Structure 1
Amino acid sequence: MATIKDVAKEAGVSIATASRVINNAPHTSDAAIVAVKEAMAKLGYRPNATARALVNKSSNAIGVLVNDVSAPFFGTMVKAIDTIANEQGKQLLIGSGYHDAVKERNAINMLLDSQCESLVVHSKGMTDAELTSLADDIPGLVVINRVVPNMASRCIALDNRKGSYIATEHLIRNGHRHIGYLCSNHDIEDAHDRREGYLDALRDNSIEIREEYIEYGEPDETGGEQAIVNLLAKNTPVTAIATYNDYMAAGCMTLLQENGINIPEHMSVIGFDDGHIARYIYPRLTTIRYPIQVMANEAVKLSLQLVAGQEMERSECKLFMPILVRRASVGSNPK
Structure 2
Amino acid sequence: MITIKEVAELAQVSQATVSRTLNGHSSVKEANKQKVYAAMEELGYQPNTFAQALASNRSCSIGMLVGTLDGPFYGPMMHEVEKVVRSENYHLIITSGHEEYDEEHESIRFLRSKKVDGLVLTVDTLSDSELLEISRQNEATVLINRYIPEMADRCVWLDNEKGGFLATEYLIKKGHTQIGCISGQLSKVDSRDRLQGYRNALSHYGVDYNPNAVVEGRFDHQCNHDAIRRLLDRDIPLTAIFCMNDNIAMTAYTLCLERGLRVGEDISIIGFDNVPFGQHMTPGLTTVDFPIQKMATAAAKKVMAIVKGKSSASQPIEPIEPTIISRGSVKNLA
1:136 and 2:133 equivalent? no
Paired AA for residue 267 in structure 1: I
The answer as to whether partners of 2:142 and 2:302 remain within 8 angstroms in 1 is yes
The answer as to whether partners of 1:61 and 1:91 remain within 8 angstroms in 2 is yes
Query: For residue 333 of structure 1, what is the aligned residue in structure 2?
Result: 333
Q: Deviations over 1:254-304 (max 9, x none)?
A: 110122100111000000000122122211100000011111111111101
Paired AA for residue 327 in structure 1: R
Task: Give, in whole Å, the separation in 2 of the partners of 1:224 and 1:333.
Answer: 27
Q: Deviations over 1:84-120 (max 9, x none)?
A: 1221222221111122232112111111212211210
Residue 185 (structure 1) shift: 2.6
Query: For residue 177 of structure 2, what is the aligned residue in structure 1?
Result: 177
Query: For residue 117 of structure 1, what is the aligned residue in structure 2?
Result: 117
Query: For residue 202 of structure 1, what is the aligned residue in structure 2?
Result: 202
Q: CA RMSD of the aligned region, Å?
A: 1.9
1:211 and 2:211 equivalent? yes
Residue 222 (structure 1) shift: 4.7
Paired AA for residue 148 in structure 1: I
Query: For residue 20 of structure 1, what is the aligned residue in structure 2?
Result: none
Query: For residue 302 of structure 1, what is the aligned residue in structure 2?
Result: 302
Query: For residue 18 of structure 2, what is the aligned residue in structure 1?
Result: none
Task: Give, in whole Å, the separation in 2 of the partners of 1:160 and 1:115.
Answer: 33
The answer as to whether partners of 1:54 and 1:117 remain within 8 angstroms in 2 is no
Query: For residue 264 of structure 1, what is the aligned residue in structure 2?
Result: 264
In the TM superposition, 1:218-229 aligns within 5 A as 218-229=218-229
Task: Give, in whole Å, the separation in 2 of the partners of 1:114 and 1:197.
Answer: 40
> Cα distance 1:318–1:266, how it changes in 2: closer, same or farther (>3 A)?
same
With the length of structure 1 as denominator, give the TM-score of the two structures: 0.81
The answer as to whether partners of 2:302 and 2:311 remain within 8 angstroms in 1 is no
Unpaired stretches in structure 1, ≥5 consecutive residues: 1-49
Paired AA for residue 269 in structure 2: V
Task: Give, in whole Å, the separation in 2 of the partners of 1:150 and 1:323.
Answer: 27
> Cα distance 1:54–1:300, how it changes in 2: closer, same or farther (>3 A)?
farther
User: Secondary structure of the residue that 1:69 maps to in structure 2?
Assistant: coil
The answer as to whether partners of 2:69 and 2:75 remain within 8 angstroms in 1 is yes
Query: For residue 247 of structure 2, what is the aligned residue in structure 1?
Result: 247
Deviates more, 1:162-171 or 1:310-319: 310-319
Task: Give, in whole Å, the separation in 1 of the partners of 2:54 and 2:286.
Answer: 47
Q: Deviations over 1:171-193 (max 9, x none)?
A: 00110010000011340111100
Residue 54 (structure 1) shift: 7.5
In the TM superposition, 1:39-188 aligns within 5 A as 56-188=56-188
Report how many aligned residue pairs link the two structures: 284
Rg larger in 1 or in 2? 2
The answer as to whether partners of 2:215 and 2:228 remain within 8 angstroms in 1 is yes
Aligned residues with identical type, % of pairs: 33
Task: Give, in whole Å, the separation in 2 of the partners of 1:191 and 1:215.
Answer: 12
